[in-house]
Amino acid sequence: MDLSVDEAEHSMEMHLPYLSKVFQGHTVKVVPILVGALSSQNEAMYGQLLSKYVDDPNNFFSVSSDFCHWGSRFNYTYYDKKHGAIHQSIEALDRMGMEIIETGDPDAFKQYLREYENTICGRHPISVFLHMLKHCSTEIKIGFVRYEQSSQCKNMRDSSVSYASAAAKVAASGEEEKEG
């Protein structure tokens, strides 16, 4: 990446203070992997290459992304009136993506992005991670734990950025059978 792209990249700067707090008192090695705009084929390839690291319980992954960047300044104003106010439509759109991510299906996530063109910055690292989970031998369950918007858009002149936090954990034995 060139210097201007590197200077604009902020995911590591946002995550390192949290990781430092979580791992306080422990010696850890951080291996940042910056994922740019990849083709679907490269997302799958890198996901497969990195999947073996998911199977090592000593590894921890932190994937950074905002969710919907909504408003004319972001060139994205998708609005489905059946959900109510604009901010409710944005939340419904984001939650649809979150539910798909929770399934762990990278192809369904790619289809969602194709259909709705949601402006999720980290769509490529999320896709790589979903491919990692698809190809590893450990069953991982993703669950979203929090969702927020920077503002509640009520008209087409407003703008907002959505934020969602998820955690992934090793699925308990038989967990899928209980849910299904």
Structure tokens at 71: 């408003």
First to last CA, the chain: 44
Q: Which domains does the chain have, with CATH numbers?
A: 3-179 (3.40.830.10)
Structure tokens at 24: 């306080």
Name the pTM for this structure: 0.86
Q: State which H helix or E strand residue 142 sits in.
A: strand 140-149
* Residue position matching structure tokens 């409710």: 88
Q: Percent of the chain, pLDDT > 90?
A: 64
Higher pLDDT, 9 or 100: 100
Question: 155 and 71 in contact (C-beta within 8 Å)?
Answer: no
**What's the pLDDT tens digit per position in 25-82?**
988 887 778 787 889 999 999 999 999 999 988 888 888 888 999 999 999 999 999 9
Structure tokens at 61: 């992954």
- DSSP per-residue codes, the chain: --HHHHHH--HHHHHHHHHHHHTTTS----------S--HHHHHHHHHHHHHHHT-TT----------EEBGGGTB----GGGSSHHHHHHHHHHHHHHHHHHT-HHHHHHHHHHH----TTHHHHHHHHHHHHHSSS-EEEEEEEEEESS---STT--EEEEEEEEEEEPPTTHHHHH-
DSSP 8-state code for residue 76? B
Residue 175 has pLDDT above 60, yes or no: no
CA 143 – CA 149 distance, rounded (Å): 18
